[in-house]
Amino acid sequence: MNILAAIKRQERKLEKQLHKLNHQLSGVRAAAKALGDSAEREVLGKKKRVLSAAGRAAIARAAKKRWAKVRAQAKKVAG
């Protein structure tokens, strides 16, 4: 009978935790509803930003230009 009593105690403990979590969840849902669309976007996550091929090419050119400047500066110091 001790095993049955332990199982019943564990069940009551888990029921209390479930009740507490449901209460917290309802509070979070109420807050999200109060915030409206902005909260919904945050929960769903931000949309992936897409960069055009031209934009990527421009970034690559700028990076190459910066590295060329760094290399030229290093060559001056070393040479």
Task: Specify the pLDDT at position 30.
Answer: 86
List % helix, strand, coil for the chain (3-state, nearest 5): 85, 0, 15
pLDDT at 1 over 60: yes
**Total number of domains in the chain:** 2
pLDDT tens sequence across 3-52: 999 999 999 999 999 999 999 999 888 888 887 766 556 656 677 889 99
Task: Specify the pLDDT at position 43.
Answer: 59
Q: Any idea what the Cα angle at residue 14 is, between residues 10 and 19, rounded to 5°?
A: 150
Same domain, 11 and 40: yes
Domain span at 65: 49-79
Q: Within 13 Å of residue 10, how many CA atoms lie on the same side as its CB?
A: 6
pLDDT at 54 over 70: yes
Same domain, 60 and 27: no
Distance CA 20, CA 24 (A): 6
